Amino acid sequence: MLLEAIDHRSGQAYCYAYDERTVHIRLRTKKDDVDTVHALHGDKYDWERTALETRLYKTGSDQLFDYWQGELVPPHYRLRYAFKLTSGEEVVWLTEKGFGTEKSQDPLTFFDYPFLWPQEVLKPPAWVKEAVFYQIFPDRFANGDPANDPPGVRPWSDSDPGPYDFYGGDLQGVYDRIDYLTSLGVNAIYFTPLFEAATNHKYDTADYRKVDPAFGDTALLKKLVAAFHERGIRVILDAVFNHSGEGFAPFRDVREKGPESPYRDWFHIKEYPLRTEPRPSYHCFAFESHMPKLNTANPEVRNYLLDVAEYWVRECDIDGWRLDVANEVDHEFWREFRKKLKALKPDFYILGEIWHDAMPWLQGDQFDAVMNYPATDAILDYFAKGEIDARELGSRINRLLASYPQQVNEAAFNILGSHDTPRLLTRIPDEAKAKLAVLLQFTLPGTPCIYYGDEIGMQGGPDPDCRKPMQWDTARQNHGLLAFYRMLIELRRTRRALSEGTFRFVYAEKDQLIVLRKNAEEELYICVNNSNREASCHVFEPEPVSSAANGQSGPLPGRERGSRILPEAEVILGQGSFVRTENGLSAALPPFGWLVASVPLGRFDTGQGDML
């Protein structure tokens, strides 16, 4: 065994409370280097009577490493543990003191999980993993009230938006289209900012307690949220607490009065008088002078923003905040933010915009989830750019899943495009390939989000081209793509394995993928052929594998060698064939084809064995 590749730390994504009774432990090893991993664990104050050995299962692999996971239920909420690794005849033990070839007789040298505190468990709202979100950019979705249009709005039919253009979209327009959103099947809405601001995107807030008059007013927002709730649709809004707009009253006061302003410490002023050229004399978002950075270390600012966050929950009963530029705001602010919002509404969803490693924000004291840009990049690198093959795609997704606790992955916000990126069909002009990317998006752990118009085939390059007005002319909509989205949304609604089940790649080679989602009821196999030729995939499993659902070893019913009990595989969507045998599985797919096959659980179970 290559000991240098083995990694475990007692904390973060390697040892964490999954729920109020269960602890997950993980281990990393060199790829294909270790045959089995077991955890020796027990209560540190009652070791002799509580010591047990539990098998860990390989949950994924990347190009360099295998990732293993076990599920433990410590009877007294405390845990002390060590790892036993085998490779052929070689046995290695790993404790907190390092490696050894003999089992340590001193549990004091083992890893320690001191106590499982229920209040410290990261518990994203249960509804999130069952949600399908739809993102609305209000100025471009629908114009329901021309009377509130800003001056100089462009005709809705103009499809070449400039960065400073307005089209007149508003909340009344959204209200008028609730039937469309209901028929699509989505059950959660994400609005980009709604509050008064000078720009069309509203990320430069002027008044945090006022709906922008071009969108409507508080009464209309309240009416809209209530109407969505009647349809079983949740609503989250966009909070911009990293910075304000230059029209924000406290900033205008600082600009007018300089160091004499009582709001001078609300911002990060480097020198007076304020200037914007060649660069602002105050910290901003990026170097955008119209977006001055707020000083959330100032108790006055902190209390003001926290009051704003609570106000809209109380006033309109919203279900979550998406937090803009979340990683540039101090952690202490977000900790207080979480306490207040969760006290007000326990199933409130706190979603951070973070493009990189977000583990510091996902430890139970700040966010429930982040926008899953690393998964977006992996999917697009494969389907859009062709820069990686299926094996590398699987490696990147597996590495990402191993980087976060399982409940974080279950609440991840999975997107293929947004108001900040080119549209899906612009990145992947081949509709057949684009559908494969969407299928994988809906297959990943977490919640998928559709950017308005992607479901009808709208195209657009980088901002502002990706912000064209919604195409409501049905003659110009892609009805085949719309039907595809509706079908996948219905699939997630009716097949709970896609929202609550385990996830793994059972096949990933060149242009073909097979993903397994599994819960207590069934296995779902999602098979993808990302090539212009027919393809067959074969997965051979010469030995029965064990169930990881309950941590027990041994062959499952129907898996004993020589058994003739075979699974009842049914292709429920897509084209091609799928066959389960006692030694593995086979799938045959047409060019750029896909299928979803269902296997009832209990007839044939793959557990969580080797992957990739």
The catalytic residues are: 324, 353
The full length of the chain comes to 612
Report the alpha-carbon distance of residue 290 to residue 280 in Å, rounded: 9
With contact defined as beta carbons under 8 Å apart, do 472 and 142 qualify?
yes
Residue type, 295: N
Sheet with 522-529, edge to edge strand ranges: 502-509, 512-518, 522-529, 594-600, 570-574
| Contacts made by residues 147-154, CB under 8 angstroms, sequence distance 24+ | 148/213, 148/214, 148/215, 148/216, 149/214, 150/214
With contact defined as beta carbons under 8 Å apart, do 145 and 193 qualify?
no
**3-class DSSP assignment, residue 16:** strand
Report the alpha-carbon distance of residue 331 to residue 311 in Å, rounded: 21
With contact defined as beta carbons under 8 Å apart, do 60 and 398 qualify?
yes
Residue type, 499: S
Q: Determine the distance from the C-alpha atom of residue 182 to the mean position of all C-alpha atoms in its chain, rounded to a whole number.
A: 23
Burial class (CB in 10 A: 0-12, 13-18, 19+), 100: middle
Q: Where are the alpha helices (DSSP H) in 390-445?
A: 390-402, 406-410, 424-427, 431-443
